Structure 1
């Protein structure tokens, strides 16, 4: 079983009008394939980004996904044996009864006003994980495509404080370098990098440097390796495949000196992935291969599969 910290299923369902159950002919994730891939829980991303500061559009997208009685998330969690993880009791239930857990995550803080009132409303609706930006700049921080000299803002510091007060998870994926380092200087909570790879293997500003990996490990956080082709490899003689992801996992283990700070954040339904990954149904096989390729002990592979993320999830229920 495994926990995946970035699945774009909600956005893909809305965009392509496909169904979650019993099985879809398109996309990377549905109920049957999730069960075949032994998914324990997923961070299901809500994507509100539109324009840099277009808060009203962000709110509209959020409410469309979570407040409408006919919304996709409620369809998924109510009808298809998924548990929305909003408290410790529900978190424990997925382990005891093997129901698939759904953690509500927002990919970028467009839609949150600078007074932060909407953050508290979204939290009441079940939001438990917050990414500060997508690739854009917003009131709070700067994404990978933004001004490299602009980082975390004073409003962003207030947002992080509120996230901490609400015991929510803070995700640094998509931040530009300056925002990343500003965040790490400002907070001492365990940091999640939900779906970020390594620049050493794919030289892209969305990926992490070795120094960033070390800093996340110092926070007792964890890094989710994703299967997006352009973030797996940029080398012409080394096309992106599942082994690129495995080698990045090996590298993070080497950088941090342990298996405590890496997991999978696939980006399924949100990007183009290698043919040899295919979809979420192959993940059980992926972890078997990973264990053999890296010569991992049982506890080590379990950490990568779910224990590292479980550790971070438990921080929001203390």
Structure 2
């Protein structure tokens, strides 16, 4: 069953290896596992946050927008070498790529700290083809507060205008990394679907990055979707329950609260970041993605529901 994984940090890995002089990174390092997992579509994240030992540490003088431009330049180089991968902006383009035997990819932004106070940069995102965008990663910036900050701090006035402008540019607001207050501030401004590209249920794993039932219902009411996340820390607090089966239980809880038409995949596989970044048991890398579909079947999801969760629900909001 074809899967559209709505959140992948592969552009970070592409940038890393292209900076080291390697070409065809997707094909050499990721394509075999994508094919093994039957992943036919990707949400490719532009993530430029500086962390210890990140690829940006060698360029301490680069600001966020310089890092963004670098990642996009490397992405363009890579895409030119990947005739089997189509960068798309709409579900119709994605389906056309499928009929041509290609994988499709949408662009997203994971943290808009690089925008700063220059909201015209949102237009540049749109010109690049970005369709999904998070105001924050986990930090607090000039636009909003992220999940790593004060849960009672939300959007700034500039952040509110950013959400309005994003919606005019057809960039879906993505709340996966927001604080609780930022979440509700975005919902107050929603004029169409809002998504959480890679989050689980706080009812099953009580961490800030997961969503409460009230938040799930609010996303449902916009017509949006929530993509389940394989990160073991977001699946369960008990290590022995950090499994593909428990991930399917998150999907089942979402389906119970929102309806199965609002559940999607946003796996956030990060094993290529090194030890400790593997997904939960049975979903350690994208080559195992079909294990999630198997677990959905095992707990009673119909074939139509499984296909909707695998790809169709997220494609619907990207029409």
TM-score strictly above 0.5: yes
Q: Does 1:136 align with 2:142?
A: no
Residue 302 (structure 2) pairs with residue 300 (structure 1): no
Q: Which has a greater percent of helix? A: 2
Q: 1:179 and 2:185 equivalent?
A: no
Cα separation, partners in 2 of 1:20 and 1:80, compared to 1, 3 Å:
farther
Q: Secondary structure of the residue that 1:83 maps to in structure 2?
A: strand
Once the two structures are superposed, what CA deviation does each residue of 1:222-255 show, in whole Å capped at 9, x if it has no partner? Answer: 101111011110136x431111100001111111
CA pair 13-45 structure 1, distance change in 2 beyond 3 A: same
Q: Which residue of 1 aligns with 2:4?
A: 3
The one-character-per-residue Cα deviations of 1:150-183 (angstroms, maximum 9, x if unpaired) are 1011111111111111111211111010110111
Is the deviation greater in 295-304 or in 11-20?
Answer: 11-20
Distance 1:22 1:127, change over 3 A: closer
Indicate conservation of the 8 Å contact 1:48/1:109, yes or no: no
Alignment of 1:42-121 (within 5 A): 42-50=42-50, 57-66=63-72, 68=73, 71-76=74-79, 78-87=81-90, 90-121=93-124
Instruction: Give the secondary structure class of the aligned counterpart of 2:63.
Output: helix
Q: Report the secondary structure of 1:212's partner residue.
A: helix
| In 2: Cα distance, 1:231 partner to 1:87 partner | 30
Q: Distance in 2 between matches of 1:215 and 1:289?
A: 27
Quick check: 1:190 aligned with 2:193? yes
Partner of 2:34: 34
Q: 1:224 aligns with which of 223, 227, 251?
A: 227
Cα separation, 1, equivalents of 2:169 and 2:35: 31
Unaligned segments of structure 2, at least 5 residues: 52-59
| Structure 1 residue ranges, 4+ long, deviating more than 6 angstroms after superposition | none
Between 1:174-183 and 1:86-95, the stretch displaced more is 86-95
Given the superposition, is the C-alpha separation of residues 38 and 58 from structure 1 closer, same or farther in structure 2, using an over 3 Å criterion? Answer: same
Q: Between Structure 1 and Structure 2, how many residues are aligned?
A: 301
Q: TM-score, normalised by structure 1?
A: 0.88
Aligned equivalent of 1:253, options 240, 245, 255: 255
RMSD value over aligned CA atoms? 2.2
Q: Take 2:91 and 2:236, find their aligned partners in 1: how far apart are those partners?
A: 38
Question: How many angstroms apart in 2 are the aligned matches of 1:89 and 1:294?
Answer: 32
Query: Secondary structure of the residue that 1:192 maps to in structure 2?
Result: coil
Using the size of structure 2 for normalisation, the TM-score is: 0.87
The unaligned stretches of length 5 or more in structure 1 are 25-29
Worse overlay, 153-162 or 109-118: 109-118
The 2-side partners of 1:12 and 1:273 are apart by 17
